[in-house]
Structure 1
Amino acid sequence: MTRTHAALGGLLVVLAASGAAWALAYPQAAPAQAVVRAVADCAAAVTLGLATAPALEDGRHRTELMHRAEAPLAVAAGVWLVAELCRLVVGAAAAAAMPVTRVGLGTALEFASATAVGRSGVFSAAAAGVVLLLAVAAPRTAPVTVAVAGVTAVGLVARTIGGHMAASALGGAAIAVHALTAALWCGTLAALVLTVEHRGQWARVLPRFSELSLGCVIALLAGGVAGALVVIGSPSQLFGTGYGRVLLIKIVLTVVLLALAWSNRARWLPAAKSHRVTAYLSRSRSLTELAIMTVALTMAAALSVTG
C-alpha cells in the first residue's frame, strides 16, 4: 500500500466514523465541525509522530529515518494547516448561524478574535504554519526535529483551551493530557508505517515504540477518565445524551485498542525483535490498529463539538 492509498483510506475512515458519530449524537451533533476537527486532529497527530519517530531509531540509523520523514512531514503539516483554517471558517459559520458558503472575511476574523474557540484555533493554525515552514525550509537536524515536535505539541494543546471542557480547570488539564498522549501514540505508529521499510528497522524501532505507547496509554487513560467524570454526572447520561453515546463508543474502541496492543506486545513484538516477521506483516498489523485509532480520534473530535 502506497502513502497515497493509506491517506485516502484514512480519510474514508474519518468520513465513515463522522457519519456514525452524527447518528449517535443526533440532533446534538455538528457533522461539518466534527469532520474538519477530525482531519485536523489526525493530521496533527501524524505530524507529531513524524517528528518523534526518528528518536526510536538507534544513533547510526536515526538520520536516515529523519530524512525519510521529510516529505510526509511537509504533507501532514500542510493538511493540518488547511484543516485548521477550514475549522475556523466552519466554526464562524456555526457561531453566526449561517451557511459556510456565506461566511465572509469579516465574520471569520470576528470569530477568530472575539471567541476563545477562535483564538485557540488561530494559535493552532499558526503552529501548523510554523511546522510547515520548518519542514520545507529548515535542514533536517536533531534540534529542528525537537522544535517541530514541541511546536506541534503546543498547537495540539492550544485547541483544548477553547473546547467543551474549558470552563473546568481539571477538565481542561485532563483533556490536554489525553489529547496529547493519544496523538503521540497514534501519530508515532502512523509515522512508522510511512517511514519504516524493512524488517530490520521494525526490529529496532518496535521495542522502543512499545515502551512509548505504554506510557501514552497510562496517561491518556488517566486524562480520559478525569475528563469524563467532569462531564458525565451519572451513568444514565452515557445512553440518554448524544455526548454520552459518542463517549460510550469511544470507550469501547479504547478497550479494543488496549486488547489489540496487549496482543501485539505479547506476540508481534517478540517476533519482530527476532526478525521473524516480514515488513509487510508489520505494516499490515499497524494499519489495522491505525484504522481503529482513526475511528477513536474521530469520535473524540465529535465529542469536542457535540452539545
Structure 2
Amino acid sequence: MTTGRRAPGATLRRWRILVPVVVAAGLGVVLAWLLRGGAGFPFAACARVLADGAGAIVFGLAALPRLDERLRVAWRPLAALAGVWFAAEFAVLLGEAAEVVGVPVTALRAADFGTFLGRLSGGQIGIALLFCTGAIACYAAVAFRRPESASADLVLVFAAVALALRPITGHMSQQAFGSVLAAVHALAAAAWLGLLLAMVLVLRTRGDWASALPRYSALAAPLVLAVAATGIVDGLVRIGGLEPLWSTGYGRILLAKLVLLLGLVGLGWWWRRSWVGRAAQHRVTAEVSVRNAAIEVALMAVGFGLAATLAITA
C-alpha cells in the first residue's frame, strides 16, 4: 500500500499541509489571548501548542499502522518532527523558568535556568520530557536506516509518557482521579488529531483511504467523547460554577473550546454521512479525502491553540 515511490514534488506538496495547520494553531492562541484579556505576548502558549501539536503528529505517525497493518511508519519525518517536539519542549521550559524568576525569556540567566531545572518539580518534569522526546528522535533516526528491526510500539510508549507527563502533574493532580482524567484527555486529543493528520501526510491512494478512514471514524467517536467528558470535568473543577464561564478569561477560553468541539462533532457527523461511507466504497478520490481531512485538522489545530493558552491561564 505504501511501498510505491512518489515524486519528490508530490511528497513536498503533501507535507506543506503543516503550514496552514501551524497557522490555525497560532490563530487559536491569538483568540484565547484576546479572550483572556490580551496581557503580554503569549510566548509560553506558542511554545506549548507547538510541543503539543508535534507530539500529536509523532504519536499519530507511530500509531498509523494500527489502523491498517499494510501501512508503514514514516521514520524520517517522524524523526524530524520529534526533533521539533524536543525543541518546543525546551522552549516551554524556558518560558516556565522565566515566569518563575519573574523576568522575560530574553533576560533569563543560565544560572537561574539551571536552578529551575535542578530544584523545582516543573524543571525536573521538563528534563524527563526532554529525555523522552530526544529518545524518540534518536530512535526514529536509527529506525530510518534499519526499518526492518524498528518497533513503532517503543515510540508510542515514550510519546504517550511525554504527552501525559505534564498534564498529570498539573492542577488536576490535586483532585481525586484528576491525574487519570488529565492523562486520558491529553492522550485522546493527541490520538484524535495525530492520527487524522498522519493520514493526510502518509495515505497516497483512494484504496488507502478506503481502508483506513472507516477505522479512524469508528475510533474518533470514543476519542471525542473522552476529550469532551474529561475536559468538562476539568473545567468545572477549575472555575467552580457557571458564572465564571463568561466573567473570567479562563472561563471564556473554556467556553470557546466547547463551542469549537461542538462544531467538530457536527462536522464529524456530516463527514460520516457524506464522505466516510463513499470513501469506503472507493467512490471518493484521494485528493478529496485529503482536502476534507485537512479542513478538520485545521479546526482541531485551533482547538489545540485554545487549549495551550488555557493550560497557562490562571
Question: TM-score scaled to structure 2, two decimals?
Answer: 0.91
Q: Distance in 1 between matches of 2:29 and 2:171?
A: 18
Match of 1:220 among 216, 221, 227: 227
Q: Which residue of 1 aligns with 2:21?
A: 10
Paired residues of 1:116 and 1:162 also in contact (CA < 8 A):
no
Match of 1:264 among 264, 271, 294: 271
Paired residues of 2:22 and 2:301 also in contact (CA < 8 A):
no
Q: Which residue of 1 aligns with 2:105?
A: 100
Using the TM superposition, name which of 241-250 and 136-145 deviates more.
136-145
Q: Distance in 1 between matches of 2:291 and 2:278?
A: 15
Identity of aligned residues (%): 37
Match of 1:280 among 268, 274, 287: 287
1:115 aligns with 2:120: yes
- 1:169–1:140 CA distance, 2 compared to 1 (3 A): farther
Match of 1:31 among 35, 38, 42: 42
TM superposition shift of 1:13? 1.6
TM superposition shift of 1:142? 8.1
TM superposition shift of 1:172? 2.9
TM superposition shift of 1:156? 0.5
Q: Which residue of 2 aligns with 1:182?
A: 189
Q: Which residue of 1 aligns with 2:54?
A: 43
Paired residues of 2:25 and 2:302 also in contact (CA < 8 A):
yes
Q: Distance in 2 between matches of 1:41 and 1:160?
A: 11
Paired residues of 2:15 and 2:201 also in contact (CA < 8 A):
no
Q: Which amino acid aligns with 1:51?
A: A
Paired residues of 1:29 and 1:305 also in contact (CA < 8 A):
no
Q: Which amino acid aligns with 1:44?
A: G
Paired residues of 2:26 and 2:302 also in contact (CA < 8 A):
no
1:202 aligns with 2:203: no
TM superposition shift of 1:30? 6.6
Q: Distance in 2 between matches of 1:30 and 1:180?
A: 28
Task: Extract unaligned runs of 5+ from structure 2.
Answer: 1-11
Q: Which residue of 2 aligns with 1:74?
A: 79
Q: Distance in 1 between matches of 2:102 and 2:60?
A: 36
Using the TM superposition, name which of 136-145 and 120-129 deviates more.
136-145
Match of 1:133 among 138, 150, 154: 138
Paired residues of 1:116 and 1:161 also in contact (CA < 8 A):
no
- 1:266–1:234 CA distance, 2 compared to 1 (3 A): same
Paired residues of 2:28 and 2:304 also in contact (CA < 8 A):
no
1:89 aligns with 2:100: no
Paired residues of 2:184 and 2:227 also in contact (CA < 8 A):
yes
TM superposition shift of 1:3? 4.1
- 1:135–1:221 CA distance, 2 compared to 1 (3 A): same
Q: Distance in 2 between matches of 1:165 and 1:86?
A: 23
Residue 242 of structure 2 aligns to a residue in which SS? coil
Deviation string, structure 1 residues 69-108 (Cα, Å, up to 9, x no partner): 2222112111100000111111111111112112222222
Q: Which runs of 4+ in 1 moved over 4 A?
A: 27-30
- 1:30–1:111 CA distance, 2 compared to 1 (3 A): farther
Residue 173 of structure 2 aligns to a residue in which SS? coil
1:168 aligns with 2:175: yes
Match of 1:301 among 289, 292, 308: 308
Paired residues of 1:30 and 1:305 also in contact (CA < 8 A):
no
CA RMSD after TM alignment: 1.8
Deviation string, structure 1 residues 125-175 (Cα, Å, up to 9, x no partner): 211111101110133358610110111000000011343433324333212
Q: Distance in 1 between matches of 2:299 and 2:308?
A: 14
Matched residues, number: 301
Match of 1:252 among 252, 255, 259: 259
